Amino acid sequence: MDILKNFLYASLGLASMAAEKIQTVINDLVDKGKISDEEGKRIVKEFFDNAESRKDELESKLRKIMEGLIERFDFIPRKDFQKLEERIKLLEEKLGIVYEENAEPSDEPQAPPQ
């Protein structure tokens, strides 16, 4: 999951850099009189519109990939995992099972003193 998140952030960073570069190039062309101000604005708008639709497409594809991976590998959603952790914690409290704060999950639980 982190790999895909990092990929998405990198893609957004790249798109941001490209947008800045395009804006700079268009501004230079307008300043040199090679294109009109209106044409420059139109080009920049088209670029951003296209980038936005591509971003939406990419997000949709990534979402489908993630859903497929979750289903294929039988992962449970984070919220379900958190609910299970809470239930385990409550059961341990009811049973009087105490773990040392730095204990590894494989360490044996310590029963309360009798």
Integer Cα distance of 52 and 49 in angstroms: 5
Q: How many Cβ atoms sit within 10 Å of the Cβ of residue 40?
A: 19
Q: What element of type H or E holds 4?
A: helix 2-31
75 Cβ neighbours under 8 A, 6+ residues apart: 69
One digit per residue, pLDDT tens: the chain, 114 residues? 567 677 767 777 777 788 788 889 888 998 999 999 999 889 888 888 887 788 788 888 888 988 888 788 888 888 999 999 999 999 999 998 887 666 665 556 565 555
What pLDDT was estimated at residue 86?
95
Inter-residue contact 35 to 29 (CB < 8 Å): yes
What pLDDT was estimated at residue 4?
67
Sort 55 into a burial class: Cβ within 10 Å, 0-12 / 13-18 / 19+. Answer: middle
